[in-house]
Structure 1
Amino acid sequence: MKKYHLHTFFAVLLTTFNVYSQEKKLLFFQTDWGRSTSWDAFCEKTKAAGYDGLETWFPKDEREAEELREALNKYDLQVGFLNGTDKSVPFEESLRAYTENFKNIIAWKPAYINCHTGSDFFSFEQNKAFIDAANKIARKNKVRIYHETHRGRFSFNLPDTQKYLSAIPELKLTLDISHWMVVHESLLQSQDSELNEIIDRSSHIHARVGHAEGPQVSDPEAPEWKKAVGRHLDIWEKIIRKKWETQDFFTVTTEFGPPDYMPTLPYTRVPVSDQWKANTYMMKALRERLNIE
């Protein structure tokens, strides 16, 4: 018996050593939100900036799909796809389309699938039906499917999201906490204990910085946003280090958006800062925070 316990002890010790001795990685994905160039040009720029992949909605037609596939292969980039609930059609029709969309997406073997799931006007049971459908597909196909915290969706605020987490043990989140900053009109400084389960259940991050009055600061490098940027980095670091306890990589999408998400000057609609620069800055800031070269 003692010999068995000793063998078990060393096996656990070796497993723990292997987990912590592996190089911990952050895999960064660039959003194609606002893209105005060809897939080839966009992927070339994405790779040159140091990204591991990109995140996009699944192509609408075969020609665009082929252009995307060729560019991904040419520049050795991974892809994370988005899937979403269409809130403009009846529930049953929307659920059917949402479920069908996974078939085409899964065939590409994406790094993950990030979902804009449900609606803040659907019932709990209706939103749960979308989540359950996605979880069933994730299990069957062994694909990573996450559900983004997002205004207008089931996860539009912290308290309601907690209800879904309690009811659905398999529910995994993409945390875009910038949405909650504006919904709750705060940086959630007094909600650290409430965020613990959110941190535990977050498997992907959208690295955009919000604030009490909006989902996107004008420029994350500006000194007036130092507190907001620091708060987001603190939360993101907790999530990443938590996941690094059991896995050697974590995925992050830098997701500062274009106008009109990006604030603009009146009349001219000229953006007040550069979207690409904001996103690459967030990648740099996370690398520095987590001591990754």
Structure 2
Amino acid sequence: MQQFKVYQSLWAMERRRPDGLEWPLDEQLRMIRDAGFDGAGVRFFDYAFASRVTRTLKDYGLTWQAQCYPQTVDDLKPIIEHVQDLGADHINLQPDVRPYTVDECIPLIEGWRRLAHDAGVAVHIETHRNRMTTDLFFTLRLLDCFPDLRLTGDLSHYVVGREFAWPVSDEDHRLIRRIIDNSWGFHGRVASREQIQVQISFAHHREWLELFLGWWEYGFRSWRKRAPRDGVLTFLCELGPKEYAMTDRNGYELSDRWEEALLMKDLVRDIWTRLDKQDRDAKERAHQETSV
């Protein structure tokens, strides 16, 4: 049976308040567990940190994805070694390079995929600004070269990066759906055409929230059609601290990101549950029809 897991980003647990108050790491992990998340996004370039965090998550019965930011093919080797030692459901790779041409990307992508294949580790390449995948059109050209490239869809970067007009055009929807159809995991953040991260609890941002919920639902449907029966889809709630989060004149955030992460968790789980029910109902109807 296909599974859906909702993770919380540890980066998103940073508060960065003017008063310097932060949740200790152990408290962050307890909060993630007690809130009902299935796991966390963990940076794996720091082995000591990853070892400490994953040991606790494992004790809690939770899982995790490994975050990394390689600049060369060889940069991925220690990350794979850490995953082989500590485990992870997949590596989320932000390609920390900014090539001018697609041809420059080919040896990097081929090298990363070769290493992952040889190690038997799943790697998803994240769509992200100031990375190889910074631009929507450039990333689509990468998909022309690698039609089976597995992405992590962080769609917020393309909305603000391309400054999508409102209402979003049919053409922009089509382009985003092509990204979604290659996405094997999602990072959750809601953008507007001017802001990378809007407050999803504010009523006047509801239209942008609904836009992303619609894309995520399309993405869940798309994934369910192409993933194996025992596949696991992960969704990482990634509402980041400032400067992602907007702040007032005193440097305090305009909303409670932790509460909004809990809201996002519940919203995407509701989508998955609804799709599950629709599939079960469809199978039941088909069974009844063949039994008549």
TM-score range normalised by the length of the shorter chain: 0.7 to 0.9
Aligned alpha-carbon RMSD (Å): 2.1
Count, aligned residues: 261
Q: Displacement, 1:252?
A: 0.3
Matches within 5 A, 1:49-198: 49-58=35-44, 60-62=46-48, 64-86=49-71, 94-186=72-164, 188-190=168-170, 191-198=172-179
Q: Which residue is equivalent to 2:27?
A: 41
Q: Is the 8 A contact 1:29 1:55 kept in 2?
A: yes
**1:230 paired residue number:** 210
Distance in 2 of aligned mates of 1:96 and 1:138: 12
**Could you tell me which amino acid in structure 2 is paired with residue 201 of structure 1?**
N
- Residues 278 and 255 of structure 1: is their aligned pair in 2 closer, same or farther, counting only changes over 3 Å? same
Select which of 232, 236, 256 maps to 1:253: 236
Confirm or deny that 1:208 pairs with 2:189.
Answer: yes
CA displacement at 1:45 relative to structure 2: 1.0
Pairing 1:220–2:168 present = no
Q: Secondary structure at the match of 1:257?
A: coil
* 1:95 positional shift: 3.7
Superposed displacement of residue 170, structure 1: 3.5
- The residue identity in structure 2 corresponding to 1:106 is Q
C-alpha change, 1:114 and 1:66, in structure 2 (3 Å) is closer
The equivalent of 1:18 in structure 2 is: none
Deviation at 1:192, TM superposition (A): 2.3
Distance (whole Å) between structure 2 residues aligned to residue 128 and residue 274 of structure 1: 41
| Structure-2 separation of matches of 1:207 and 1:61 | 25
Is the contact made by 1:43 and 1:75 (CA closer than 8 Å) also made in structure 2?
no
Partner of 1:284: 266
Residue equivalent to 2:284: none
C-alpha distance in structure 1 between counterparts of 2:83 and 2:3, whole Å: 25
TM-score (norm 1): 0.82
Stretch moving more, 171-180 or 192-201 = 192-201
Deviations for 1:84-114, whole angstroms, at most 9, x for unmatched residues? 134xxxxxxx443244433223332201111
Does structure 2 retain, via aligned residues, the 8 Å contact 1:117–1:127?
Answer: no
3-state SS of 2:147 partner: coil
* Mapped partners of 1:106, 1:56: distance in 2: 15
Residue 69 of structure 1 deviates from its aligned partner by 3.1
- Structure 2: distance between partners of 1:59 and 1:156: 22
The answer on whether the counterparts of 2:190 and 2:200 sit within 8 Å (CA) in structure 1 is yes
- Distance (Å, rounded) in 1 between the aligned partners of 2:259 and 2:217: 21
Structure 1 unaligned residues grouped into runs of 5+: 1-21, 87-93
Q: Name the amino acid aligned to 1:263.
A: M
SS in 2 for 1:290: helix
Instruction: Tell whether the 8 Å contact from 1:29 to 1:254 is kept in structure 2 after alignment.
Output: yes
User: What TM-score, normalized to structure 2?
Assistant: 0.82
Structure 1 61/25 Cα, relative in aligned 2: closer, same or farther at 3 Å? closer
Note the C-alpha offset of 1:61: 4.9
Work out which structure has the larger RCO, using CA pairs closer than 8 Å and 6 or more positions apart in sequence: 2
Q: Deviations over 1:157-176 (max 9, x none)?
A: 22111111110133111000
Q: Give the whole-Å Cα distance in 2 for the aligned partners of 1:115 and 1:140.
A: 17
Residue in 2 aligned with 1:270?
252
Q: Which amino acid aligns with 2:179?
A: I
Distance in 1 (alpha carbons) for counterparts of 2:134 and 2:45: 26
How far did 1:28 drift?
A: 0.5
